[in-house]
Amino acid sequence: MAAPISASPNPVGRPRRRARTLPQQRARMFYILILPWFIGFVLLYVGPMLLSLALSLTRWNLLNSPKFIGWQNYVDMAHDARYWQSLKVTAIYVAGGVPLGLILALLLALLLNQNVRGQSVFRTIFYLPSVVSGVAVSVLFLWIFNPEFGLLNNLLSYLGISGPGWIASVDWSLFSLILTSLWGIGGTMLIFLAGLQGIPLELQEAASLDGAGAMQRFWSLTLPLLTPTILFNLILLIIFRFQDFTNAYVMTNGGPLDSTLFYVFYIWLNAFQFMSMGYATAMAWVLFMIILVLTVIIFTTSDRWVFYMGGDS
């Protein structure tokens, strides 16, 4: 008796399915794993950004439906004296606070990079202030800079110096907030410290054997090799300083004669006090463009002063 004929594994007319290669399987798994992040990115970032761009072209008081007015919000900025004051105050704040923050953070990193006893304890002490931030820090410096019973003026009185008005003074209020911003340089210091530890000790030892002193090694070796870290910290500080809000709100509420009217603080005033959400959204987009342009300028000019080990620049 003849054995039954088994069914063909590949019937005529049915194309054979190709087995996925390992790169294809990895690519498929990659897209599956990244899908939740991508959905969240679109819904929580791209979507709100596009919505805010549309709202910047409207007049909306949060109570009624938005009314399309085109580019009128952007035109109104050119005639808003307080807008230009907020831009001027923020520019001075960034121009003063960013260099001071970079220099102080670098000096602290150089000190904490020394091989001394209790090194980890000192690093923790200098980093801890950056963990405490927000309203608590603003209230603390509100007491320090109080012109009548503040800690700083009390200390100056012991030296026979009559302290200024600080946060209550038109001339000193912005400078007070610049000093307050230095409280949170611990993160910047930590990044500088990581950059210093990434410089090979062999280069330092070779320069020392060639007769280079400490200052010469710093200017000719350490600082050039630290320029990528400086670039990173510079961009981060510019972004953060342009968006500072809490200190101006809690400590000065805009300051006397709008002397501390930060840009983001003025956005908040327009959005939640003047009930002009469309205008505030347009201001936010202008701020985004300012930061973007500054970042692009820094990146395009970085090849002139940023040096990488193993590269020309």
- Full DSSP string of 164-176: --GGGSTTTHHHH
pLDDT for position 2:
52
Nearest Cα to 237, choosing from 48, 46, 104, 88?
104
CA distances from 122 to 119, 131, 168, 179, 300 (A): 5, 15, 35, 22, 37
- Kindly report the CA angle at 290 between 78 and 285, in degrees rounded to 5? 70
What is the architecture of the domain spanning 74-304? Orthogonal Bundle (1.10)
Work out the number of other CB atoms within 10 angstroms of the CB of residue 296. 10
Q: 290 CB contacts (<8 Å, ≥6 apart)?
A: 242
Helix (H) or strand (E) holding 68: strand 67-68
Q: Which long-range contacts (CB under 8 A, 24 or more apart) does 165-171 make?
A: 167/142, 167/251, 167/252, 167/255, 167/260, 168/256, 169/256, 170/255, 170/256, 170/257, 170/259, 171/259
Cα gap 301→252, rounded to integer Å: 36
pLDDT for position 174:
95
Nearest Cα to 189, choosing from 115, 111, 244, 75?
111
Cα gap 1→276, rounded to integer Å: 93
pLDDT for position 115:
83
Nearest Cα to 122, choosing from 113, 135, 134?
113
Q: 266 CB contacts (<8 Å, ≥6 apart)?
A: 82, 83, 86, 283
The greatest distance separating any two alpha carbons of the chain, rounded to the nearest whole angstrom, comes to 122
pLDDT for position 116:
81
Asked if residue 87 lies in contact with residue 263, where contact means CB atoms within 8 angstroms, the answer is: yes
- Per-position b or e across 210-219, b if 16+ CB within 10 A of its CB: eebeeeebee
Instruction: Encode the chain (313 residues) as per-residue pLDDT tens digits.
Output: 455 555 555 555 555 555 568 888 888 899 999 999 999 999 999 999 999 999 999 999 988 899 999 999 999 999 999 999 999 999 999 999 999 999 999 999 999 998 888 888 888 888 988 888 788 999 999 999 999 889 999 999 998 888 899 999 999 999 999 999 999 899 999 999 999 999 888 888 888 888 888 888 889 889 999 999 999 999 999 999 999 999 999 999 988 999 999 999 999 999 999 999 999 999 999 999 999 999 999 999 999 999 887 655 5
pLDDT for position 24:
84
Cα gap 60→55, rounded to integer Å: 8
Domain extents for the chain? 25-68, 74-304
Strands, DSSP E only, in 131-174?
none
Cross-strand partners of 68: 58
Cα gap 157→163, rounded to integer Å: 7
Using DSSP, state whether 226 is helix, strand or coil. helix
H helices, E strands: number in the chain: 15, 2
pTM for this prediction: 0.86
pLDDT for position 138:
92
Cα gap 140→180, rounded to integer Å: 10
DSSP line for 278-292: HHHHHHHHHHHHHHH
